[in-house]
């Protein structure tokens, strides 16, 4: 099977590309190596993918290209069977400073991909969206796919536009599109500027953990292995075509509790500090994953505590190269 992973040198895309290589598929990665965070992380992902391919598990082609460039998208999509679209401009807070670029990448780039795939005959197109589309209405928790979508940031707005385009192309042009709304994904090789990677890094370094705000805000954190599993399931079924699905753990934890759990697992003597928060952040998120469970048999394998423990073990094993990237992102 010919598989295209846009953003395949990024965090989630890299894990999906690895799983597809391990399944023996021919994997194309389209990535523009955006220096949103340290490019050594993309280099590490590329090396990991090459190592899998060198073992005889599938074949790998890494294409340097940008989804904003229609000709590059067209070249990457030729004769493709399965598409995982994870190329995106990430980050709620940075989107406030540069909404136009976020629109160009997350909306125009997605439209370029969908338009191109109208001329191909893919078996499935899986678009990555975000829990940020729901906004901050806490009366709706846990968020279900039928709940109102009222994003409160440019990032959330662009992700909503992208997932709506996906559903429209499924309905109007009969493309086999599935939209996945991810809830705060974390795990090995995650973006270094996220709360979990930051807390773990500071704890290993013996530095105080820093919480933005009072720590009462909470998140549904989803371990990346569960995200890979649901993407793997979608490759083999059309049950979710034309649908949008929430992908989360179905649980939530406050940031203060998360910091305490990580601190206590590494060094209980470390202090926890508070800094000014950000009004643009939604106070709480939690996914209703019952639709994904019904259509795909989705059941998260990792609780938040289990996933955090797994990440701490991975961090300890890869601290020599990963820790400097986290410290450099703060």
Query: How far is C-alpha 269 from the geometric centre of its chain's CA atoms?
Result: 33
* pLDDT reading at 328 higher than 80: no
- Residue pLDDT, tens place only, 1-60: 999 999 999 999 999 999 999 999 999 999 999 988 889 999 999 999 999 999 887 999
* 322 has catalytic annotation: no
Cis status, amide bond into 117, omega within 30 of 0: no
Q: Which residue do the tokens 């805000």 mark?
A: 217
Which residues lie across from 82 on neighbouring strands? 3, 124
Mean pLDDT of 193-208: 95
Q: Which of 134, 155, 186, 223 is catalytic?
A: 155
* CB neighbour list of residue 35: distance below 8 Å, 6 or more residues apart: none
Q: Which two three-digit tokens encode residue 290?
A: 């019952």
* Sign of CA pseudo-dihedral 290, 197, 191, 218: positive
* pLDDT reading at 330 higher than 60: no
- Residue pLDDT, tens place only, 278-316: 666 788 999 999 999 999 999 999 999 999 999 999 999
Mean pLDDT of 198-214: 95
* CB neighbour list of residue 266: distance below 8 Å, 6 or more residues apart: 200, 203, 204, 312
Residue positions counted in the chain? 330
C-alpha to C-alpha distance for 187 and 302, rounded to whole angstroms: 11
Exposure pattern of 160-171 as b/e (b: 16+ CB <10 Å)? bbbbbbbbebbe
pLDDT value, residue 102: 97
C-alpha to C-alpha distance for 58 and 2, rounded to whole angstroms: 10
pLDDT value, residue 277: 72
Q: Which two three-digit tokens encode residue 164?
A: 């709506």
pLDDT value, residue 193: 86
C-alpha to C-alpha distance for 52 and 283, rounded to whole angstroms: 40
Selection from 310, 185, 298, 326 nearest residue 239 by Cα: 298
Mean pLDDT of the chain: 95
Q: Which two three-digit tokens encode residue 204?
A: 């290993």
C-alpha to C-alpha distance for 135 and 151, rounded to whole angstroms: 4
- Residue pLDDT, tens place only, 52-91: 999 887 999 999 999 999 999 999 999 999 999 999 999 9
Domain layout of the chain by residue ranges: 2-183+224-250+287-301
Backbone φ, ψ for residue 110 (5° rounding): -65, -40
Alpha-carbon dihedral angle through residues 126, 129, 134, 138, given to the nearest 10 degrees? 100
pLDDT value, residue 140: 82
- Residue pLDDT, tens place only, 235-286: 999 999 999 999 999 899 999 999 999 999 999 999 999 988 766 678 899 9
pLDDT value, residue 315: 97
C-alpha to C-alpha distance for 205 and 262, rounded to whole angstroms: 13
Alpha-carbon dihedral angle through residues 140, 181, 292, 1, given to the nearest 10 degrees? 180
Given the candidates 3.30.70.980, 3.40.50.720, 3.40.50.970, 3.30.70.2190, the CATH classification of the domain at 2-183+224-250+287-301 is: 3.40.50.720
Query: How far is C-alpha 170 from the geometric centre of its chain's CA atoms?
Result: 22
Whether the Cβ atoms of residue 46 and residue 34 lie closer than 8 Å to each other: no
Whether the Cβ atoms of residue 104 and residue 145 lie closer than 8 Å to each other: no
Could you give the angle at the alpha carbon of 49 between the alpha carbons of 118 and 120, nearest 5°?
10
- Residue pLDDT, tens place only, 121-180: 999 999 999 999 999 777 789 999 999 999 999 999 999 999 999 999 999 999 999 999
- Distances from the Cα of 327 to the Cαs of 50, 227, 247, in angstroms? 27, 26, 29
């Amino acid at each position: 099977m010919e598989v295209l992973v846009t953003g395949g040198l990024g965090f989630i895309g890299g894990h999906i590309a690895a799983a597809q290589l391990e399944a023996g598929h021919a994997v194309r990665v389209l990535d523009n190596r955006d220096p949103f965070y340290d490019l050594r992380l993309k280099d590490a992902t590329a090396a990991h993918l090459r190592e899998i391919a060198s073992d005889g598990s599938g074949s790998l082609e890494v294409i340097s290209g940008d989804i904003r460039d229609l000709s590059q998208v067209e070249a990457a999509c030729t004769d493709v069977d399965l598409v995982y679209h994870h190329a995106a401009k990430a980050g709620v807070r940075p989107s406030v400073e540069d909404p136009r670029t976020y629109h160009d990448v997350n909306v125009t780039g997605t439209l370029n991909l969908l338009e191109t795939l109208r001329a191909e005959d893919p078996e499935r197109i899986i678009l990555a969206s975000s829990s940020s589309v729901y906004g901050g209405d806490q009366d709706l928790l846990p968020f279900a796919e039928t709940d109102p979508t009222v994003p409160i940031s440019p990032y959330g707005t662009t992700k909503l536009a992208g997932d709506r385009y996906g559903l429209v192309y499924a309905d109007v042009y009969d493309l086999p599109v599935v939209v996945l709304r991810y809830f705060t994904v974390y795990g090995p090789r995650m973006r270094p500027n996220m709360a979990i990677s930051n807390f773990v890094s500071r704890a290993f370094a013996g530095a105080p953990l820093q919480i933005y705000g009072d720590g009462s805000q909470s998140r549904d954190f989803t371990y990346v292995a569960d995200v890979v599993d649901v993407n793997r399931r979608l490759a083999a079924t059309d049950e979710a075509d034309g649908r949008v699905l929430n992908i989360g753990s179905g649980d939530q934890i406050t940031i203060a509790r998360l910091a305490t759990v990580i601190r206590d697992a590494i060094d209980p003597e470390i202090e926890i500090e508070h800094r000014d928060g950000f009004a643009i952040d939604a106070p709480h998120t939690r996914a209703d994953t019952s639709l994904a469970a019904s259509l795909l048999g989705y059941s998260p394998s990792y609780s938040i505590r289990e996933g955090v423990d797994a990440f701490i073990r991975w961090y300890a094993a890869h601290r020599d190269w990963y820790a400097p990237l986290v410290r450099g992102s703060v």
